[in-house]
Amino acid sequence: MVEDARAIDYSLDSAHNSLCDLDKLHNPDETSILEEYSINWTQKLGAGISGPVRVCVKKSTQERFALKILLDRPKARNEVRLHMMCATHPNIVQIIEVFANSVQFPHESSPRARLLIVMEMMEGGELFHRISQHRHFTEKQASQVTKQIALALRHCHLLNIAHRDLKPENLLFKDNSLDAPVKLCDFGFAKIDQGDLMTPQFTPYYVAPQVLEAQRRHQKEKSGIIPTSPTPYTYNKSCDLWSLGVIIYVMLCGYPPFYSKHHSRTIPKDMRRKIMTGSFEFPEEEWSQISEMAKDVVRKLLKVKPEERLTIEGVLDHPWLNSTEALDNVLPSAQLMMDKAVVAGIQQAHAEQLANMRIQDLKVSLKPLHSVNNPILRKRKLLGTKPKDSVYIHDHENGAEDSNVALEKLRDVIAQCILPQAGKGENEDEKLNEVMQEAWKYNRECKLLRDTLQSFSWNGRGFTDKVDRLKLAEIVKQVIEEQTTSHESQ
């Protein structure tokens, strides 16, 4: 259902000439998008790093498309530009057209310049969801999916573009048919790789070692622990290959190669150590029936040193992707991924950690904060705020500070319930009580959460009875969805 026109105000943005580089690839339409498309504001296909993706319908053909709306800023133009450069490949989501309109949402006092990106509709769902629907997801199917992902990456890399956010949520199937192609989406963190990709962008389970090293050096330089380097530590497209290795591992067995026993909003030391040393195993229970070829490609992608890692051409030439063997062994991953609460909980934790672990995108060496003369940075130091990429900074597009913190606390509860090896022993019960106290403090007005806590025997400080953690995680996920919907409608 389309929202009342009085609630959403669209007007033509006449400043199309400001899109410069974007014009060379595709001229944004100078008319209102509403002249050609109907937009369903209540139906959301998912949420990327820049906000929800909605459904729109071409009036002349009644064909459905996905619609992504971004504030018209240099970062958004760059995202669209890089996506367009890559979108000619059959395994990358296509951009149909781009509109540059002024849009006023209900909670805004005036229209704001935005890019409205019409993309092909992907009806088949995310990678993990698709696997969970196949009771008999085989190793051959996993290798075929891997080949398509690798082809998409090769296309990006040939254009010298690093995606930098390769994870299962950004891999979508075109439709529900058995031979539907998988396509790469969301270029919000993509960059031209000039050997100076300075900003580690990652989700913990998929992060490459040199990304962590880059982050560590930035943090030490920022704190004045080590002198700033005249040649900043950098990383490149090879990080996408590491992420591909992790995705293959998860597809084959249903869990990631690197995880921590301890929940944290930053990468814990034990998990960081595993990533930095490339320490992972192939447990016999899940891996005994998986081919040595599959294990070999994983090993060669999860090499700590980038120069030892398979190149994208090496992946595509690997025997596992080109084998004539049947490889019809059914993988354990489908069964494990059928638990939606587990998959959703892990993805929620990934998203939260991704938002909290970004550092500023700087292309120069960093001075310690105490020595800078920039008045904005001095004010930030005094206020104790985090960089603008953090969830704590007030952003009209994403909502107020308190709402973001409230959602963060709820995701902490899910992570404590879901993350590997959580929920064992009295100490884990204490941790769950602690994160729930924080979540309750910021979400007292939520009736669903209040009713949930009552049903779980919550006394305000802790749970008095044994908690079904998976059930709690599923309900808290519903609370997050309810709170998010409520916030977006304001």
Whether the CA torsion 177, 178, 179, 180 is positive or negative: it is positive
> What are the pLDDT digits (tens) for 326-338?
899 999 887 777 7
Q: State phi, psi for 202 to the nearest 5 degrees.
A: -165, 165
With tokens 């009036």, the residue in question is 59
What is the mean predicted confidence (pLDDT) over 20-33?
56
Q: 125-349 has which fold? A: Transferase(Phosphotransferase); domain 1 (1.10.510)
CATH code 3.30.200.20 region(s) in the chain: 9-120
DSSP letter for each residue of 51-66: EEEEEEEETTT--EEE
CATH code 1.10.510.10 region(s) in the chain: 125-349
Q: 9-120 has which fold? A: Phosphorylase Kinase; domain 1 (3.30.200)
> What are the pLDDT digits (tens) for 251-310?
998 877 765 444 444 445 555 555 555 667 788 888 999 999 999 999 999 887 778 889
Output the average pLDDT for the chain: 74
Contact 102, 28 (CB under 8 A): no
Which one has a higher pLDDT value, 164 or 15?
A: 164
> Which pLDDT score, from 0 to 100, does residue 329 have?
92
What is the mean predicted confidence (pLDDT) over 183-207?
65
CA-based angle 149:174:77, to the nearest 5?
A: 75
> What are the pLDDT digits (tens) for 390-426?
322 233 343 445 667 888 888 888 878 876 443 345 5
What is the percent of the chain where pLDDT is above 90? 29
Q: Is 162 left (phi over 0), alpha (psi -120 to 50) or beta?
A: beta
With tokens 């192939």, the residue in question is 282
Dihedral Cα 169, 48, 218, 262, nearest 10 deg: -50
pTM reported for the whole predicted model: 0.62
Contact 110, 104 (CB under 8 A): yes
Tell me whether residue 465 is one of the annotated catalytic residues: no
Catalytic-labelled residue, pool 29, 72, 165, 186: 165
Secondary structure string (H, E, C) spanning 173-214: ECCCCCCCCEEECCCCCCEECCCCECCCCCCHHHCCHHHHHH
Report how far residue 319's alpha carbon sits from residue 326's, in angstroms, rounded to the nearest whole number. Answer: 13
Contact 392, 442 (CB under 8 A): no
